[in-house]
Structure 1
Amino acid sequence: MDISNILLYVVAPLVAFSVVIFIHELGHFLAAKKVGVRVDKFSIGFGPELIGFTKGETRYCISALPVLGGYVQMAGDTPDKLTGESWEFYSASKKNRAFIIIAGPFANFISAIFIYAIGLMLGVGIPTLPSDIGKISEKSIAYETGIRFKDKIIQIDSKPVKTWDDVQGVLLKKKPKEVMKLTVLRDGGKEFEFKLQVPSKQPIDISTLGIKPYISTKIADLVKGFPAEKAGLKAGDSIVSIDGKRVDEWEEVTTVVYESIKKPLMFSILRQNKEMQIKIIPVEGKIAQGKKIVQIGQIGIKPVVGKIQIKRLRPVEALTDGFLRTVIGTPQYIMLVIQGFVDKCISVNDLSGPVGIFHMAGEQSKSGLGSLLLFIGFLSVNLWFFNLLPLPVLDGGHLVLLCIEKLTNKKIAWKVQEVANVIGITLLIALLLMVTYHDILRCLGLSLG
């Protein structure tokens, strides 16, 4: 492994984990200090201490296993350590203990907004598609006007355009029912002008006109270990037909593949002006479609999508986007996952553990610091949700015990808490081993079917 891969797949993921864990534990730490509970130790990671220092009453350290979490050790955090001092955790009121417990996940949730915002301000790479038009429905406004497949939009009224971002930017400024003039290039050089008018009051964009970007069937890259790579497809190949049916654009390729889980497909491809046949069997994959997760066929190919352009948002735009991603996007994502479990489209085997997260962080860091920060923001809100699950050992489990204590007006026996913690730790270790096993299979391009 060379130095660049070490930075991508080891250092970047460690930074990602460390940031979200530090924020989480900092939330607990600050809350404890706020209500007067003494903190004896603040550790990022578990196991033997690697490096640390003592300041005041607290020992700050980094331990050997940072990827497994971290902890804040408070005075009197177990009944056997109680001496009756007011600064001990179990001497604090139920309200203050709940405040300390909630503060960790809350810190992850709030910080995600700002992590997202910083990532968006630094910039994220977005592919810029040239303004070539894909296949058009014969019932669309564009088709009825005379616009055809593979026409290239070069001007809208007096505004020159080169990419689909340019096209969308001009269209969104148009008023409903406004007549506009599109100038296109056809067959490599002939210019044609068309006048269009959207009859409805809805905002004007490419969808209301019935046009979409053209993406060729040329392969830019392959996913290691997936069927296409195993079958012998290469970057630069162009897909001509599938099972004898001609395909003219990338959407037609994905449509056939999506509908062909574990069904053999005969691909006719063009490589260095020579046509050849390759049989590929798509594996089962899952994608979000609306409010559901659906099963699809996948072969692991990526299209040529033009140059990557860095898009940066201004501070106010970035904060707004970060807020929406966290406050609105997170509940939507959680409901999508829950619905996937209910519909049996996803299972525990589809979840990712430390190995999978390391791999994802490494992949995101390839696209730059902005993309890595967006991933860290996503990781932070996931830690918020996971820690609030009502499982012993997790913050959510501690809150459940506090609620029981509040309702019964009796402190739960420490032996009961110890048994609950052992059960919780056992379940978490079992889950960790299971997801790690499947993470490794995915990274190796293997599957249990």
Structure 2
Amino acid sequence: MGLINFLIVLSILVFIHELGHFLAARFFGVTVHTFSIGFGKRLISKEFKGTTWQFSLIPLGGYVRMKGQDDSKPNLNEAGDDSYNNKKPWQRIVILFAGPFANFALAAVLYFAIALMGSNALAPTIGKVLENSPASKAGIQINDEILRINGKEVKTWDDIGNFIKNSQGMIQLHIKRENTMRVININPHISDAQNIFGEEIKKRMIGISPAPKVVTIHHNPIEALVFAYDKTIESSKMIFLGVQKLIQGIIPSSEVGGVITIGKVISDASQSGIIALFSIMALISVNLGVLNLLPIPALDGGHIMFNLYEMITRRKPSDRVFMILTITGWVILAGLMLLGIFNDINRLMQG
């Protein structure tokens, strides 16, 4: 069942990505010969309005094959106004960007649905108070519930961290303790901490950690739109930073996951409920959008770079340069895939 869920989720994500390319291409009048979910041998196909829609043997991606566009034939020059290679560079860039954009849009839709159904988060309830911390000295206790900070309503534990981080000087906490309300003033101190990438940072803190208590936050449609936008932007920034830290060597290469890890995460999420599954789908969709925008020649981002070069220099890259860079891109992608699979197998062997 886990494998089936993995294939369904991956197929949906790939379909949305390729649908973005397809719709943009058709908008500019480009003929699309093939719309494929998967690579390799064709398993099922149906021709509709000049396009062959198909499922292929290897379900780890997909593609749309447009008239006048073929990475293996950079000198391909098919005549006609319906040919990709005859479109203006900015139009080709729109077609290329439409795939990743569709993934970001899908993530936003999923986050919007999560917000309407009820998003889960850690409750603003204190589970631990560090000794000699500002919170301890101010008399804060375990199981205290923080309701407001400097007059701003607190709904989740993340709100506490954000309010304290962006505050200056003394802060005022409204706390609920055993059905009584208390007002406590605390002066946060600057402490050593680690970010999500394991880097040492300085951070304003008061010395508390959360209780293992979850709260469900329900949003009206307007709030859900804001939630969806914020989560999509936040996820995109996190993945961009993750790629940057990986290149810098801050994140070890052993942390790179492959299809086995993705499959396990999707399988586990599907067993936890629809909200967990939507959350993982949204995150993977953003991941797919971000990675495809990287300036690697075999990806959408690489092709966008080629077209930007043509817009600036008024000439296309030479066929030889295009082919060398494209092959280099394929090698990089193959290397990353093999690294991910190697790490997945290594994790399985280590239990």
Which interval holds the TM-score relative to the shorter structure?
0.7 to 0.9
Conserved? CA contact 2:138–2:185, under 8 Å: no
Out of 324, 329, 346, which is 1:424 matched to? 329
Residues 167-178 of structure 1 mapped to structure 2, 5 A cutoff: none
Correspondent of 2:112 among 91, 112, 117: 117
CA distance in 2, matches of 1:444, 1:332: 29
Matches within 5 A, 1:268-279: none
Length-normalised TM-score, structure 2:
0.76
Q: Does 1:71 align with 2:63?
A: yes
Equivalent residues of 2:46, 2:53 under 8 A apart: yes
Q: Tell me, which stretches of 5 or more residues in structure 1 are unaligned?
A: 1-5, 157-163, 185-192, 209-287, 296-303
Matches for 1:149-228 after TM superposition, within 5 Å: 182-183=177-178, 196-199=182-185
Which string of whole-angstrom CA distances, capped at 9 and with x for unpartnered residues, describes residues 276-324 of structure 1?
Answer: xxxxxxxxxxxx93374249xxxxxxxx946x77655443333221210
2:81 matches 1:86 = yes
Partner of 1:114, secondary structure, is helix
**Cα 1:120/1:415, change in 2 over 3 Å:** same
In the TM superposition, 1:139-150 aligns within 5 A as: none
Quote how far apart the aligned CAs of 1:101 are: 0.9
Give 1:54's aligned amino acid: E
Aligned length: 319
2:236 corresponds to which of 327, 330, 343 = 330
Q: Does 1:353 align with 2:258?
A: yes
Pair 1:414-2:319 in alignment: yes
Aligned partner of residue 77 in structure 1, secondary structure: coil
Give the number of the structure whose alpha-carbon radius of gyration is greater: 1
Q: 1:155-179 CA deviation, whole Å, 9 max, x = no partner?
A: x9xxxxxxx989x99xx9xxx9798
The residue aligned with 1:213 is: none
Checking the alignment, whether the CA contact within 8 Å between 1:141 and 1:196 is kept in structure 2 is: no
Q: Tell me what 1:282 maps to.
A: none
Q: 28, 49, 62: which is aligned to 1:56?
A: 49
The letter of the residue matching 1:46 is: F
CA distance in 2, matches of 1:42, 1:58: 7
- Report the counterpart of residue 227 of structure 2 in structure 1: 321
> Quick check: 1:46–1:65 contact (8 Å CA) kept in 2?
yes
Note if contact 2:78-2:85 (Cα within 8 Å) is conserved in structure 1. no
CA distance in 2, matches of 1:25, 1:119: 24
2:24 paired residue number: 31
Does the C-alpha gap of structure 1 residues 309 and 177 become closer, same or farther in structure 2, counting only changes over 3 Å? Answer: closer
Q: 1:290 to 1:80 in 2, by over 3 A?
A: closer
Quick one: percent identity of the two aligned structures?
Answer: 28
Instruction: Determine which of 283, 295, 314 is the counterpart of 1:378.
Output: 283
Q: Which runs of 5+ in 2 are unaligned?
A: 148-154, 164-170, 201-210
Which residue number corresponds to residue 206 of structure 2?
none
SS in 1 for 2:231: helix
Distance change in 2, residues 1:24/1:310 (3 Å): same
- Give the C-alpha shift of residue 402 in structure 1: 1.4
More helix by share: 2
- Cα deviation, 1:159-208, whole Å, max 9, x if unaligned, reads xxxxx989x99xx9xxx979878438xxxxxxxx8x743247x9xxxx99
1:13 alignment partner, one of 6, 21, 27: 6
SS at match of 2:295: coil
Is the contact made by 2:156 and 2:215 (CA closer than 8 Å) also made in structure 1?
Answer: no
Letter in 2 for 1:323: Y
Q: 2:117–2:218: 8 Å Cα contact kept in structure 1?
A: yes
Cα pair distance change 1:120/1:365, threshold 3 Å: farther
Equivalent residue number for residue 443 of structure 1: 348
Q: Is the 8 A contact 2:107 2:285 kept in 1?
A: yes
The SS at the match of 2:29 is coil
Q: Does the CA contact (< 8 Å) of 2:127 and 2:212 recur in 1? A: no
Indicate the SS of the match to 1:293: coil
Counterpart for residue 150 of structure 2: none
- 1:25 is paired with a residue whose SS is helix
Q: Displacement of 1:415 after TM fit? A: 3.8
Change in 2 beyond 3 A, CA 1:422/1:118? same
Query: Hey, what's the Cα distance between the residues in 2 that align with 1:178 and 1:347?
Result: 39
Q: Which amino acid aligns with 2:28?
A: V
- The amino acid that maps onto 1:316 is I
2:96 aligned residue: 101
Structure 1 residues 85 and 183: alpha-carbon distance in aligned structure 2, compared to 1, 3 A threshold? closer
Q: CA RMSD in A?
A: 3.7
Amino acid at match of 1:72: V
TM-score w.r.t. structure 1 length?
0.61
